[in-house]
Structure 1
Amino acid sequence: MPFDKKTLFTAAALVAALGAGFGIAKLSDRPPVAEAEAEAGEGHAEGGGTEVKLTAEQARAAGIAIVTVSHGGAGDLRLSGRVEATPSARAAVAAPVSGGVVQLLVAPGASVRAGAGLAVIRSAEGAAVRAESIASGAEADAARAALAREERLFKAGVTARQDWEAARAAATRASAEAAAARAKVAAFGTPGESGTTIVRSPIVGVVTSLQVAPGGFVGQGGPVAEVTNPALVEVVFNAPAEAAAKLRVGAPLTVLGADGAETKAVIAGIAPMAQNATGAAVIRARLSDGRLTPGAAVSAAFSTETGGYPTVPSEAVQTVGGRPVVFIAEEDGFRAQPVTPGRSGAGFTQIVGGLKGSERIAGRGAFVLKAELSKGEAGDED
């Protein structure tokens, strides 16, 4: 049957329409899960990635501090303090005897063990004390020998009892004098035959200062050196009355260093300040993990509410793609987690949605991750 041009054009249009309809049916026929995954993939492509790949070393080098999300009232209480050596961590070493400084055995900054020599002092007085100790020891030996001889004679019935008792008293007195002489020698630093005495450190630590120099003179009891054990530190805060009233010995707290890194501590003591009428107190906290440098400035966050929303440092909350996020630390980097911030105060922000409260996140330096993420988005657009 012959076909005219009009019939051919109509048939071609019908075939094209049927083909397009089949294609539409195939596209819309995919399962809901696949459709959702496709939509998620499209959204990810449009909004850019949510992960920043960084090793732990790279994160530290970039100044990123990882902190743990806590629960509480948005940091209701935050105190500033300082790191101090504990009383047992410091030793002021004095000269045990007067004399001239012959030699210094260490320099400031040197690490020393307990009993390590710090300086050598030569003293005529020390030599005299040593000689007296030797003489007292010899006299004690002679007195004990005389007592042993009198005891044999007394048992043999050759000597009287009173002679034996007199010998025993003399031996006891000589032994006591010898012991006193030895103690005096020890107090003088156990000088050698030439009167040289080694001044020793009583604790393990670092030599923070030396107050003597070779060729100088130091009197007995004069300062020679100071030694501090940097591992024995505590954190000290001056708390106003309203803060001190809310704190208890044994309560945990989070200490934040100047670099934003967190360290766990426990309140070890609360002492009223001199102006007791004000209610202010000195709070001393003992570190339960981590290390801090003596003299460093720190701050501490105290939660004055039980339960509550997860709380993060305010600088941890960044805006990416118009949405607030925090960066959760993962094994190979950080992931941007959308959150809903609540109220803020004292450098902390409540998170009313998006966090469970036990995550580890980027605190100080989170803006670096935001910049890195933004750089990746710009690269995708290109």
Structure 2
Amino acid sequence: MPANKTTLLAAATVIVALGAGYGLARLTDRTPAPAAEADHGDEHAGGGGTVVRLTPQQARAAGVAVVTVALGGAGDLRLTGRVEAAPSARAAVAAPVSGVVVRVLVAPGTSLAAGGGLAVIRSAEGATLHAEAIAAGAEAEAARAALAREDRLFTAGVTARQDWEAARASSARAGAQAVAARARAAAAGGPSAGGETMVRSPIGGLVTNVQVAAGGFVAQGGAVADIADPSRVEVLFSAPAEAASRLRTGAALKVIGPDGAEADAVIVGVAPLAQGATGAAIVRARPLGAGLTPGAAVSAAIATDSAGYPMVPAEAVQTLKGASVVFLAETNGFRAHQVTPGRSGAGMTQIVAGLKGGDRIAGRGAFLLKAELAKGEAGHED
């Protein structure tokens, strides 16, 4: 074979080998798939069927909040409010007796159970109450013994009935005095013989404030510490006076947190004209689950009219390929779904076609899903 043909054949062999190796590298050394993957295998007009694959954890991390579509339309009432600790979840603990603070057992942020100790107070008053309880108990015991003797003598016919009745009255009186003395001691925190009293929390929760220090003096009724249970919260809304008559205890509502996530709640109280200056009503609602933080500002949608069109957050409606879509939440991600929007106002948009009550869609962060699809389209074009 001529030398020039041999050279050309060898070069061609090298090029084929390099090409095969490059293709194999592309197949075996692929970079990991992104967290959100746009699936374009089921596209049709308006973007329906286009899926952004995200796990629930990835969606939350990306800032996408899922909301439930509710009916009501113009009948919905929009409220703003704040999350607060429930009345039974707060305690302002006071000193049961006057005295010197011997020890402080907690600091702000300390978690404790109901009955947990907060501070120890040494009190002369407490020592007196302890002694009085012991003396009253001894007198009651002596009176019971005397009554027992009178019982035996009266049964034997030795003593008069009036002596037996006097002994019985004396025993009852001494017993009542002992009960009262023990109650006074218990109200003082059950002081020891040395007058030391443990101040205890009536509820479990977190210590939010401590107002005494070791070595200081605290008067009876003086503030010792504040306790709150962050797991037990309520939401307080201010409602227009004319709306109060349309609100009922037991009605369901959706609470939307500052991060756009929603939580189910139920109205537990309506106080018309609670705010005298404005005439507004106070609406109290109890969340049916966890996730709301005391102090957070929230809003709510209350369906006061069962008729009407579905209402969704305005930011849930996005434009994709010239059509209005929302992103339906599915097990493996979010599917773009074409809708026909109607009127908008107060941050909500009416949907006249394409949705029904109970559908779950992406609310806050829907634009992120649209952007993910746009990246996918750019990738296909490349």
Structure 2 length-normalised TM: 0.83
C-alpha distance in 2, partners of 1:236/1:41? 47
Residue 231 of structure 2 is matched in structure 1 by 231
C-alpha distance in 2, partners of 1:42/1:159? 106
- Higher mean alpha-carbon deviation, 169-178 vs 311-320, is at 169-178
Residue 215 of structure 1 is matched in structure 2 by 215
* Secondary structure of 1:114's aligned partner: coil
* Secondary structure of 1:202's aligned partner: coil
C-alpha distance in 1, partners of 2:48/2:311? 27
Structure 1 residues 158 and 244: CA distance shift in structure 2, 3 A? closer
Over residues 96-143 of structure 1, what are the superposed CA-to-partner deviations in whole Å (9 max), with x where a residue is unaligned?
A: 111111112222222222111111111121111111111111111112
2:353 paired with 1:339: no
- Higher mean alpha-carbon deviation, 91-100 vs 229-238, is at 229-238
- Higher mean alpha-carbon deviation, 76-85 vs 366-375, is at 76-85
Which aligned pairs between 1:47-196 and structure 2 lie closer than 5 A? Answer: 50-73=50-73, 76-196=76-196
User: Alpha-carbon deviation of 1:224?
Assistant: 0.8
2:261 paired with 1:261: yes
User: Alpha-carbon deviation of 1:183?
Assistant: 0.7
C-alpha distance in 2, partners of 1:120/1:303? 52
Over residues 230-287 of structure 1, what are the superposed CA-to-partner deviations in whole Å (9 max), with x where a residue is unaligned?
A: 2332211111234334333332221111111111222222212256696531122222
Contact 1:49–1:376 at 8 Å: present in 2 too? no
Residue 309 of structure 1 is matched in structure 2 by 309
Residue 300 of structure 1 is matched in structure 2 by 300
Residue 380 of structure 2 is matched in structure 1 by 380
C-alpha distance in 1, partners of 2:217/2:42? 82
Contact 1:343–1:350 at 8 Å: present in 2 too? yes
Contact 2:42–2:49 at 8 Å: present in 1 too? no
Name the amino acid aligned to 1:55.
T
* Secondary structure of 1:374's aligned partner: helix
Contact 1:74–1:348 at 8 Å: present in 2 too? no
C-alpha distance in 1, partners of 2:296/2:109? 17
* Secondary structure of 1:70's aligned partner: coil
Structure 1 residues 368 and 98: CA distance shift in structure 2, 3 A? same
Name the amino acid aligned to 1:176.
A
Structure 1 residues 149 and 275: CA distance shift in structure 2, 3 A? closer
Contact 1:241–1:280 at 8 Å: present in 2 too? yes
C-alpha distance in 2, partners of 1:378/1:74? 40
Over residues 193-222 of structure 1, what are the superposed CA-to-partner deviations in whole Å (9 max), with x where a residue is unaligned?
A: 221111111112222211111111111111
Residue 18 of structure 1 is matched in structure 2 by none
Contact 1:74–1:344 at 8 Å: present in 2 too? no
- Higher mean alpha-carbon deviation, 89-98 vs 227-236, is at 227-236
User: Alpha-carbon deviation of 1:76?
Assistant: 4.4
C-alpha distance in 1, partners of 2:290/2:242? 29
Contact 2:48–2:338 at 8 Å: present in 1 too? no
Contact 1:101–1:120 at 8 Å: present in 2 too? yes
Consecutive unaligned residues in structure 2, runs of 5 or more: 1-39
C-alpha distance in 1, partners of 2:200/2:57? 40
User: Alpha-carbon deviation of 1:41?
Assistant: 6.3
Q: Across the two proteins, how many residue pairs are aligned to each other?
A: 343
* Secondary structure of 2:369's aligned partner: helix
Structure 1 residues 89 and 168: CA distance shift in structure 2, 3 A? same
Residue 354 of structure 1 is matched in structure 2 by 354
User: Alpha-carbon deviation of 1:75?
Assistant: 7.2
Q: Which has the larger radius of gyration?
A: 1
Contact 2:48–2:335 at 8 Å: present in 1 too? no
Residue 35 of structure 1 is matched in structure 2 by none
C-alpha distance in 2, partners of 1:75/1:160? 84
C-alpha distance in 2, partners of 1:147/1:43? 97
C-alpha distance in 1, partners of 2:119/2:136? 28
Over residues 22-46 of structure 1, what are the superposed CA-to-partner deviations in whole Å (9 max), with x where a residue is unaligned?
A: xxxxxxxxxxxxxxxxxx969669x
C-alpha distance in 1, partners of 2:43/2:268? 52
Over residues 42-63 of structure 1, what are the superposed CA-to-partner deviations in whole Å (9 max), with x where a residue is unaligned?
A: 9669x89821111111111111
User: Alpha-carbon deviation of 1:171?
Assistant: 1.6
C-alpha distance in 1, partners of 2:108/2:286? 27
C-alpha distance in 2, partners of 1:303/1:291? 22
User: What is the RMSD computed on CA atoms of the aligned residues?
Assistant: 2.4
C-alpha distance in 1, partners of 2:305/2:129? 66
Structure 1 length-normalised TM: 0.83
- Higher mean alpha-carbon deviation, 116-125 vs 149-158, is at 149-158
Over residues 121-167 of structure 1, what are the superposed CA-to-partner deviations in whole Å (9 max), with x where a residue is unaligned?
A: 11121111111111111111112112212221222233333322222
Contact 1:52–1:372 at 8 Å: present in 2 too? yes
C-alpha distance in 2, partners of 1:326/1:78? 22
User: Alpha-carbon deviation of 1:169?
Assistant: 2.1
C-alpha distance in 1, partners of 2:122/2:111? 24
Over residues 293-345 of structure 1, what are the superposed CA-to-partner deviations in whole Å (9 max), with x where a residue is unaligned?
A: 22211111133443222221101111222222111111111111122111111
C-alpha distance in 2, partners of 1:286/1:231? 12
Which aligned pairs between 1:275-286 and structure 2 lie closer than 5 A? Answer: 279-286=279-286
C-alpha distance in 1, partners of 2:345/2:286? 26
